[in-house]
Amino acid sequence: MGKTIHDALYRKLITELAQERIRLNVSQGELAYQVSLSQSDISKIEKFERRLDVLEFSLILKALRVGDNLKLQQIVKEFTGVSL
């Protein structure tokens, strides 16, 4: 298995997180502020230039209100195999 940044499932997760961020009308800068990253970090994650770590993943899910977001819950379930 290669680096996770090139894994198809990882790429799908990041793509869907970015699409959900856009659907919710949250800018990269706004999301970055909420999760204590730079806008550049969010951009690099979304362009597959930087790997998202598990703590950042958790913070992003909280920032995008995963508890109230059925689409985001489905994305997480598909990626992790765990229901929320």
pLDDT (tens place) for every residue of the chain, 84 residues total: 456 777 888 998 999 999 999 999 999 999 999 999 999 999 999 999 999 999 999 999 999 999 998 988 988 898 888 876
- Structural domains of the chain, ranges and CATH numbers in brackets: 4-78 (1.10.260.40)
Cβ pair 42, 61 in contact under 8 A: no
**CA gap 7, 4 in Å, rounded:** 5
Q: Model pTM?
A: 0.86
